[in-house]
Amino acid sequence: MLTIDSDVAVLGAGIVGVSTALHLQARGRSVVLVDRRGPGEETSYGNAGLIERSSVVPYAFPRSVLTLLRFALNRSADVRYHWTHLPRVAPWLFQYWRHSSPRHLADAARDMLPLIERCVSEHQLLLKDAEATHLARETGWLELCRTPKDLAFSREAAERLGEYGLSYDLLDRSQLHDLEPAINPSVFGAIHWRDPVTVSSPGAVTKAYAELFLRRGGRFVHADARQVKQSDGHWKLPSEAGEVRARDVVLALGAWSTDVTEQLGYRIPLAVKRGYHMHFSPPAGVSLNRPILSEYGGFVLSPMLDGIRLTTGIELAPRDSAPTPVQLDKAEAIARSLIPLGNRVEPEAWMGVRPCLPDMKPVIGGAGKHPGLWFNFGHAHHGFTLGPVTGRLLAEQMTGETPAADLLPYRACRF
């Protein structure tokens, strides 16, 4: 069998894996990128396309009793769950709830800030090198407020983030509709977050980064990462092109990372939040210039190359169970009250899975038990946002550089 030798094998060709491969390559390492599918064809394809510089506080478990009661009814558009899945995920949810206390959430926000602060600049470097800047928009995004009470609440929440120096505008009804004429005039106002950058196709961006990796001499192979083994000082993996052999291996499989970590003896509490999207072809004369978030409904509408993409909130269900896009239908009904969506583009909804850890921080760094094994997964709602950042930090650590941010909060042994 042909042997494909490299310094590093990166398992997973989503935005995190591709970015890690690029940064290792830039530091002189020979790299093989491995995935069962093509680059950017899983979760990195289907998100809302936000490089979310303004999300300095992680998405926490709700602490409000009224909110919890609303979710418990399992009728909301923003959060839905499979009843039969609750016993299995309950211990993880309890840990998530504990880490969402005000003190722990403040700690998580402090730990995540060095990553969030670098998200736009790291993407911009790769966008330029990959000749993909035409896919990016510096228009920010809008948080819609349907009532004066909603706007007052959002304004107070934004003001509490004052220490982070974020740029935003408070828009009244007239200003909102000057900016986005297609939005229903009944919407009272919005917060315009101006720091984030958005893209018109996150999948295309990930593929552009992968093409840059290949142009620079990298190699991509199809293989099942679950077959990776360590022997004779190397990591080995059978692939369609031959046996991949590398001194180091990076696990960047997102929601599928535990398929490998568990067989290697690691117990990392990774859970998934599923989500759906659908594209719509709006009527003539209707368009969006930037993504809009509806807090009531927990969805985002984003202008994409394929139309207006509606991405849903959270579905708690087994990772590999059949899609149940009830949540998408509920969100669509609300979205149609905000903007004329037109017809659905695809016959079926797309479903993706977000890899989430209960303390709302990813795992980045050496595995601990196995020499040459490195982790970079668990980015939750911010995989697309943080892929280039965490890819750089891990590559710096692996090559003996001092990482641009302290990786101690993200170590695997914290669990």
- Structure confidence by residue, pLDDT tens digits, 296-335: 889 999 999 999 999 999 999 999 999 999 999 999 999 9
Q: For residue 387, tell me if it sits in a domain.
A: yes
3-state secondary structure (DSSP) of residue 236: strand
Q: Is beta strand 292-294 parallel, antiparallel or unpaired with respect to 350-356? A: unpaired
CATH of the domain at 368: 3.50.50.60
| Domain ranges, residue 32 | 3-45+203-268+359-414
User: Nearest Cα to 331, choosing from 345, 306, 311, 350?
Assistant: 311
Q: For residue 238, tell me if it sits in a domain.
A: yes
Q: What does each of the 415 residues of the chain score in pLDDT, given as a tens digit?
A: 689 999 999 999 999 999 999 999 999 999 999 999 999 999 999 999 999 999 999 999 998 888 888 898 998 899 999 999 999 999 999 999 999 999 999 999 999 999 999 999 999 999 999 999 999 999 999 999 999 999 999 999 999 998 999 999 999 999 999 999 999 999 999 999 999 999 999 999 999 999 999 999 999 999 999 999 999 889 999 998 999 999 999 999 999 999 999 999 999 999 999 999 999 999 999 999 999 999 888 999 999 999 999 999 999 999 999 999 999 999 999 999 999 999 999 999 999 999 999 999 999 999 999 999 999 999 999 999 999 999 999 999 999 999 999 999 999 999 9
**Overall number of domains in the chain:** 1
**191-243 pLDDT tens trace:** 999 999 999 999 999 999 999 999 999 999 999 999 999 998 899 999 989 99
Q: Which residues contact 233 (CB under 8 A, 6 or more apart)?
A: 247
Q: What is the pTM of this model?
A: 0.96
- Both tokens assigned to 194: 């101006």
Q: For residue 158, tell me if it sits in a domain.
A: no
Q: For residue 103, tell me if it sits in a domain.
A: no
Q: For residue 239, tell me if it sits in a domain.
A: yes
- Quote the CA–CA distance of 180 and 382 in Å, as a whole number: 26
Q: CA dist 306 to 142, 179, 281, 302, 309, Å?
A: 20, 22, 8, 10, 8
Q: What's at 334, amino acid-wise?
A: I
- Quote the CA–CA distance of 164 and 154 in Å, as a whole number: 16
Q: For residue 334, tell me if it sits in a domain.
A: no
